[in-house]
Amino acid sequence: MRRGFKPAKQSAYGRDFLMEAYVAICSGIFIFSLIVLMNGTSSTREDRVRKRVSDIMNSDAKYAGVYDEDMSKSLYIRVIMPLLKSLSAKLSKHAPKGRLFKSDTGKQSEKLKKSLRQAGISMGVDEYSMIRVFVIVGAAGILTLFSVYLGLGYRSAFGALLGVYGGFVALRFNLTLRISARRASMERQLPDVLDLLSVNVEAGLGFEQALLMVIGHFEGPLIEELTVTYREISMGRTRRDALLLFAERCELEEVKSFTGAIIQAEQLGISIKNILRTQSAAMRASRRSKVEEKAQKVQVKMLFPMVGLIFPVLLIVLLGPALVSIIFSLK
């Protein structure tokens, strides 16, 4: 009998060890994917050229010798991104026609690439798809093991399906939330940028020089896109094409109106100074009207918590004693 019980204990111990190892691996993959997504935008927002010039101009950097540009990059750029690229390339070799994900070709790839750019995520389609697979597999594995731990039996398969759906929806929601936040930041910053741009043009600077002054003064998503626009103009792209691409990347009606006015002024020979002043005043009026609209909506939004939370309490306080007295009188 003793010999018969020993294998059962060993097998139970082995199952527990494998389950703990599986939970640890799935949790590690899930947390690693979330960290990569959180840090995907941290390094590219800085202008590397200006950062390197400022470091060289610093007294410590003047005598530091050779400037190690690779070591100045973040851990995501140096380690994580090459790892994701190599892993995606190796897996793509064994996929049908060399494609690992359905979104690697066609309109889906362009749509995903555009969404990543609008969200400010410095990640390619392959890397993001790989992270998406990690998150979905990690969430499905964790929920499956949690269902098995609760003893749900065959119903643990629903936990896996719920994990797949939850991971996919969470990534879509995170991407949409980042796009909305980035657009809102651009919309808030646009009037101030136009004011400074107008002042610099009125001071006698050209449009490109005024744009460079604005880039050096502000920070944010809008400045990142303006930096790309300035570099495109510096490398030989026409101002019209660069501004059209700038409006396409931002996808804001205010930005499209601004770029359209600048292009039209350049074609008709109108002074850009007057256009910038008019656009700045229009942007501030638009922002003021939006703030007033939000302030008017607050009154309507406050009605729901008042009806759901405050009025029931008032009814209990006012009608509670009367109901108690009526109940006792009926007895």
Question: Who wins on pLDDT, 147 or 119?
Answer: 119
Q: What is the pLDDT of residue 313?
A: 83
Q: Where are the alpha helices (DSSP H) in the chain?
A: 2-38, 48-57, 59-62, 69-72, 75, 81-93, 106-119, 125-149, 156-202, 207-217, 221-234, 239-250, 253-268, 272-305, 311-330
Q: What is the pLDDT of residue 231?
A: 92
Give the number of other Cβ atoms within 10 Å of residue 241's Cβ. 13
**Average pLDDT over every residue of 101-105:** 49
pLDDT band at 166 (very low <50, low <70, confident <90, very high): confident
Instruction: List pLDDT tens digits, range 216-236.
Output: 888 888 998 999 999 999 998
**Residues near 283 by beta carbon (within 8 Å), at least 6 away in sequence:** 190, 191, 194, 254, 258
Q: What is the pLDDT of residue 54?
A: 60
In this structure, which amino acid lies at residue 279? Q
What's the mean pLDDT when you consider all of the chain? 74
Residue 72: DSSP 8-state: H
Instruction: List pLDDT tens digits, range 285-298.
Output: 888 888 888 888 88
Token digits of residue 155: 């119903």
Q: Is the pLDDT of residue 43 over 60?
A: no
Q: What is the pLDDT of residue 153?
A: 63
Question: Who wins on pLDDT, 198 or 139?
Answer: 198
Distances (CA, A) of 56 to 52, 86, 216, 285, 300: 6, 33, 17, 43, 56
Q: Give per-residue burial for 292-308: e unless 16+ CB within 10 Å, then b.
A: eeeeeeeeeeeeeeeee
Q: What is the pLDDT of residue 310?
A: 82
Instruction: List pLDDT tens digits, range 44-99.
Output: 444 555 555 565 555 444 444 444 555 555 555 666 666 666 666 665 555 544 44
Fold of 185-287: Receptor-associated Protein (1.20.81)
Q: What is the pLDDT of residue 86?
A: 66
Q: Is the pLDDT of residue 2 over 50?
A: no
Domain residue spans of the chain: 2-151, 185-287
